[in-house]
Amino acid sequence: MTESKVHEAASAANAKRACEGSGLSWTFADGVIELALHRAPCNELGSASLEELEVFVTALESLQSEAHALIIYSDMKPGFCAGADLRELYQRSQAMEKLEAARGVRDFLERIHRVLNLIDASPLTTIAAVHGVTFGGGFELALACDLIIADKMARFCFPELRLGLIPGFGGIPRLKRDLGNAVVRDLLLTGRSFNASKAQQVGLVSQVVGEGEALRAARATAAQIRKFDHATVAAAKNFIKPIPYDELRREIDLFCELFSQPAVEAGLRRFVESTDAQPYLP
Amino acid sequence: MKTGDQTLNEILDLAAAHFRVPKEKLSPDDDFFKTLGIDSLQTLDLLTKLENHFRVELPDYELQGVSDFRTLAGKIQARL
């Protein structure tokens, strides 16, 4: 989508202060913006989702002077988000020359980084209310938020090394910002998944709640934040939450370098063609 | 400390309740992917249920190739 079309769509969406897209929707009421993800099967992030996210962040920039909190959650039963749409990535890269595919990947990464950086740097208090699968790019979307509230069935994982890649949507710089390096290495180098209790234990998750309760808890948290002065909250956030822009840039470069290796094509093909019941396992 | 049989029995109870399958249809040596008819995302749900119930961590890679309840029980028992 061109930039002017994004602005056009965002202005139209902003005018009605709500938007119903094919893969995500948002509402704005009582100072809280709620972004619901609802692309089957588990909110995989591909080109269509990215276009809608771009429309959303443009609207977010207009709405955030009136809002105090943003909640991101999923309407899909399997979880918050299973990450990048690997099937689309594989099919597109197969249909293109290598150089063109590499350019396409870099462009996608630049765009998704812009979206996540805007959410990360938003003056609102941002809350990811997660359940179930919160993997790869889905985990990275949650990491862009200030708080993660998890239902006890949530699982977090960076399985990218299995594909010969690293997380590409800002995951490593943001994890490094938020957690100890040993935990980052554990998640990244083993590719294992953490449950919500473990994620809370290492400092990733602020609250663990019962099954189906994450959104309710996020709304209660947003109501608490509303009691504080908007400008003071924004100043506090700006003071405590640096955006690691340099590392985020380097992550894009490293991802693109790795993407050109033959191991990636083989890894993607294995995933796409897998009928294994455990394709997420390294 | 639970015995291996207790652990196995509790796994069967959990799987039956979570996936709404009569427990009598499950046996320790069943391939749980086939018996429960679960996909990869539901397998993760089962893993989370088991970790929460037994209060253990089960790294995903330790479960690679595990497909029957008895072997699964052994993996959990080793972490109790």
Q: Could you tell me the CA-to-CA distances from A43 to A9, A13, A117, A212, B56 in Å, in that order?
A: 21, 21, 20, 17, 29
Which stretch of A89-103, A131-145, B66-80 has the lowest confidence by average pLDDT?
A89-103
Query: What range defines the domain where residue B15 resides?
Result: 4-77
Cross-chain residue pair A153–B49, CB shorter than 8 Å: yes
Sheet holding A32-37, edge to edge: A18-20, A24-29, A32-37, A69-74, A125-130, A147-151, A207-209
Is A217 near chain B, with CB under 8 Å?
no
Amino acid present at A13: A
Residue A80 lies in a domain: yes
Does the pLDDT at position A276 exceed 50?
A: yes
Which stretch of A41-55, A78-92, A107-121 has the lowest confidence by average pLDDT?
A78-92
- Please state the rounded mean pLDDT for residues A268-280: 69
**CA–CA separation, B7 vs A203, rounded Å?**
30
Amino acid present at A100: E
Find out whether the peptide bond into A41 is cis, omega within 30 degrees of 0.
yes
A54 or B39, which is more confident:
A54
Cross-chain residue pair B41–A82, CB shorter than 8 Å: yes
Q: Which residues in chain A are closer than 8 Å to B48, comparing Cβ atoms?
A: 152-155, 195-196
8 Å CB contact between A78 and B41? yes
DSSP string, B17-66: HHTT--GGG--TTSBHHHHHT--HHHHHHHHHHHHHHHT----GGGGTT-
Is A79 near chain B, with CB under 8 Å?
yes
**CA–CA separation, B27 vs A170, rounded Å?**
45
Residue A282 lies in a domain: no
Cross-chain residue pair A152–B48, CB shorter than 8 Å: yes
Domain count, chain A: 1
What pLDDT sits at residue A8? 62
Strands A79-81 and A133-135: parallel
Residue A11 lies in a domain: yes
Cross-chain residue pair B61–A282, CB shorter than 8 Å: yes
- Evaluated on CA atoms B59, B62, B68, B74, the torsion sign reads negative
Using 50, 70 and 90 to split pLDDT, how confident is the model at A101? confident
* Predicted confidence (pLDDT) per residue in A163-186, tens digit: 899 999 999 999 999 999 999 999
Which distant-in-sequence residues (6+ apart) come within 8 Å of B16 by Cβ?
B22, B23, B25, B26
The first and second tokens of residue A231, run together, are 């400008």
Task: Report the residue of chain A nearest B59, measured CA to CA.
Answer: A192
8 Å CB contact between A81 and A158? no
The first and second tokens of residue A40, run together, are 């089957």
Q: Which residues in chain A are closer than 8 Å to B44, comparing Cβ atoms?
A: 132-133, 155, 193, 280
Q: Which residues in chain B are closer than 8 Å to A78, comparing Cβ atoms?
A: 41
What pLDDT sits at residue A273? 81
Using 50, 70 and 90 to split pLDDT, how confident is the model at A282? very low
What pLDDT sits at residue A15? 47
Using 50, 70 and 90 to split pLDDT, how confident is the model at B42? confident
What pLDDT sits at residue A7? 60
**CA–CA separation, A42 vs A40, rounded Å?**
5
Query: What range defines the domain where residue A198 resides?
Result: 3-214+228-272
- Please state the rounded mean pLDDT for residues B45-55: 93
Task: Report the residue of chain B nearest A157, measured CA to CA.
Answer: B60
Is A13 near chain B, with CB under 8 Å?
no
Q: What is the pTM of this model?
A: 0.91
* Predicted confidence (pLDDT) per residue in A41-72, tens digit: 999 999 999 999 999 999 999 998 899 999 99
Query: Cα distance from A149 to chain B (closest Cα, Å)?
Result: 17
Cross-chain residue pair B44–A280, CB shorter than 8 Å: yes
Q: Could you tell me the CA-to-CA distances from A250 to A46, A171, A253 in Å, in that order?
A: 22, 12, 5
Q: What is the CATH number of the domain that holds B60?
A: 1.10.1200.10
8 Å CB contact between A195 and B55? no
Is A40 near chain B, with CB under 8 Å?
no
Which stretches of chain B sit within 8 Å of chain A by CB? 33, 38-41, 43-45, 47-49, 51-52, 57, 59-61, 63-64, 67
Domain count, chain B: 1
* Predicted confidence (pLDDT) per residue in A220-259, tens digit: 999 999 999 999 999 999 999 999 999 999 999 999 999 9
Q: What is the CATH number of the domain that holds A14?
A: 3.90.226.10
Q: Which residues in chain A are closer than 8 Å to B63, comparing Cβ atoms?
A: 278, 281
Does the pLDDT at position A93 exceed 90?
A: no
